[in-house]
């Protein structure tokens, strides 16, 4: 090497290895280190240095790391969910039970105007019906009251709006009919009133009965004829509101 080359090289006055003063020599007089070779970076070289790990690369690695953690967490969740499902399906002694995937919609699809069988309701109560037995009991009471000459008993069987028609005579109201019965009782002795050949027609809140009446008395000729009763319900009672008599 020429003296110019040596002179042009930067010499380090202090040996970076042992710290001895080289006195401007190219070699350290103590440890022999070549002082022309720099161990550290030259001035200004820090500004030119390219970072070893770019910021974008670091961010990408961080993203990939978080994505990996999320995937692992999802896998764990799937495993836990499967385990819970197995426990629910096999509990209660491992009984075999079928769990329907879809609820039967037909249970709720009811035709208009109908009620689902899942929720039964009380049907509308039927309207009271006047039966044959009901009317027959009233007629027995009527025959008994007449035979006993019991005006009060007859009054209990009649509705307030009673209309009584006998033969060609005028229609009688309740009070007028009771006066007619009073007059008959005054002429009869120990009357025996009976009804026969009865037919009934049942209905809702009303009914009818037809037959033949017969009156036997020791003080008057026997009387007989056709008779028709019409019944109505009033205050929970079955009463006679029309009475039509056709003597023979």
Residue 27 lies in a domain: yes
Residue 111 has phi, psi (to 5 degrees) of: -60, 150
DSSP 22: -
For residues 135 and 232, state if they share a domain: yes
Summarize pLDDT for 156-176 with one digit per residue, the tens.
Answer: 999 999 999 999 899 999 999
What's the domain count of the chain?
A: 2
Q: What is the pTM of this model?
A: 0.51
Average pLDDT over residues 70-75: 69
Residue 199 lies in a domain: yes
**Residue 73: exposed, middle, or buried by beta-carbon count in 10 A (0-12, 13-18, 19+)?**
exposed
Residue 3 lies in a domain: yes
For residues 137 and 242, state if they share a domain: yes
pLDDT at residue 205 in the model: 94
Residue 109 lies in a domain: no
Residue 160 lies in a domain: yes
pLDDT at residue 134 in the model: 97
Summarize pLDDT for 74-108 with one digit per residue, the tens.
Answer: 776 766 676 666 656 555 544 454 544 454 555 44
DSSP 118: T
Domain that holds residue 173: 129-247
Coil, strand or helix at 13: coil
pLDDT at 5 over 50: no
Residue 90 lies in a domain: no
Residue 21 lies in a domain: yes
Residue 187 lies in a domain: yes
């Amino acid at each position: 090497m020429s003296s110019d080359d040596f002179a042009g090289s930067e010499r380090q006055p202090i040996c970076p290895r042992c710290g001895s003063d080289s006195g401007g020599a190219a070699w350290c007089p103590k440890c022999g280190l070549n002082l022309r070779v720099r161990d550290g970076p030259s001035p200004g070289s820090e500004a030119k240095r390219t970072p070893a790990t770019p910021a974008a690369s670091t961010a990408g690695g961080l993203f990939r790391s978080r994505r990996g953690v999320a995937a692992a967490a999802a896998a764990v969740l799937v495993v836990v969910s499967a385990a819970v499902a197995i426990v629910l399906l096999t509990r209660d002694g491992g009984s075999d039970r079928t769990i329907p995937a879809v609820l039967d919609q037909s249970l709720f699809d009811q035709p208009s105007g109908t009620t689902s069988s899942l929720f039964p309701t009380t049907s509308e109560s039927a309207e009271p019906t006047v039966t044959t037995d009901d009317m027959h009991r009233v007629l027995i009471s009527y025959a008994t009251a007449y035979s006993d000459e019991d005006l009060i008993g007859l009054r209990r069987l009649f509705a307030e709006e009673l209309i009584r028609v006998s033969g060609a005579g005028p229609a009688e109201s309740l009070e007028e009919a009771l006066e007619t019965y009073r007059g008959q009782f005054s002429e009869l002795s120990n009357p025996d009133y009976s009804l026969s050949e009865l037919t009934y027609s049942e209905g809702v809140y009303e009914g009818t009965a037809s037959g033949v009446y017969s009156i036997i008395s020791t003080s008057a000729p026997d009387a007989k004829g056709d008779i028709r009763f019409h019944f109505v319900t009033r205050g929970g009672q079955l009463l006679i509101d029309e009475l039509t008599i056709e003597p023979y």
